[in-house]
Chains A and B, each alone.
Chain A
């Protein structure tokens, strides 16, 4: 059994769908962190079967929106003195700019590099966004 000690002050991102933790880790720039960080992959979970967890021993400010775009089902626990003082469920934003990249090779954003990648939410339940330029659908957690 892998043991990782609990953190005193910081943030735990829990219930990350297995496989998406590493993407979140890099998106948050945690590979460059100068404080203690743990990425736990494929941990046992009663709800998900397997899940990833990220523990950050620091009260960093980060973009919760961006986490929702990778996996909207994560739970963000804010830890103070080894206790969870707040739980945050990220919400999908209506519009995102330069967070999701359009993967349609025929989209104009693939050649005109100055153009921001803009997506708007079209179905909150399914987590579907649409590219402002080519209408390509991006589904959160799948792409």
Chain B
């Protein structure tokens, strides 16, 4: 039963519950018009305490395509947050107006606090460098649709694995499916945090940490690229030094399997060369569309209207 639940962490829902969401997303993909009035008269609040284009648009488009309405703010300076209001008070107030709340926050764990004060479902749309569970729904729906399975895959994650919340969420979620193994490709400074590898080790999941993409790309079923995010660095020098280290280009793609797929949470800032976009293995823009369908299915399930 997903009605009324929060989604804060990609493992909040069981694989069975995720399948329920993905099955419903598949139905929406098949005939979107059939669901145009599913959320008539419902209101989604989007509380974006830090900038976002695609995640916010994706949520707003998802709700509008379901016939619902959207209220919210896209930066804290235009809200009561600028006056120093706490997360708890903001949520208690917004929950009086909205049926479901989406929150992005620069501080890790903020959506969990929100959920503790909210009588309506709270969806984590990204908290600092921590987690991004709806991106994970997007990623899983994409993999399921293209590979027709979520098990037995070799998944490579490349780039900023330290602050890349989409990677943390993806590893957490896909490590629950049997037979998956992980190749973590990053400079030493941007390796995944200890809690992520501790999780993998505790589950007995196979993973390797390497520094060079070209040496391992041929082993991968999925290559998940990430951008080196400037806002996650404490100083400019580190950012400049590391931002261009891992760039996917045609030369590296020649080493990859014919059925490998390239995914990216977007936006990219140079880590995937533009000439890769026409490669049939490039799935990142299709992935963005899957994201909207995944969010449509999620909102419907949490509101209990599906």
Contacts and interface: CB of A to CB of B under 8 A. Distances in A.
Interface of A: 104, 106-112, 114-115, 122-123, 128, 130-137
B266 interface: no
B108 interface: yes
B195 A108 contact: no
Given A106-B128, A106-B129, A136-B195, A114 B88 contact: yes
Interface in B92-136: 105-110, 112-113, 127-130
A135 B88 contact: no
B233 to A, nearest CB: 12
**Secondary structure class of chain B's binding surface, majority of residues:** mixed
Given A107-B109, A114-B86, 15 more contacts: A104-B108, A106-B106, A106-B107, A107-B108, A108-B107, A108-B112, A108-B127, A109-B109, A110-B107, A114-B88, A133-B112, A134-B109, A134-B127, A135-B195, A136-B195
Nearest to B130: A134
B90 to A, nearest CB: 11
Contacts, number: 58
Contacts of A104: 108
Contact of A108 (B105, B129, B194): B105
B109 A131 contact: yes
Contacts of B195: 130, 135-137
Contact of A123 (B86, B108, B130, B198): B198
B157 to A, nearest CB: 17
A132 B107 CA distance: 13
A137 B195 CA distance: 6
B238 to A, nearest CB: 15
- Residue from A104, A114, A135, A136 whose CB has the most chain B CB atoms within 10 Å: A135
Given A108-B87, A123-B198, A132 B112 contact: yes
Contacts of A114: 86, 88
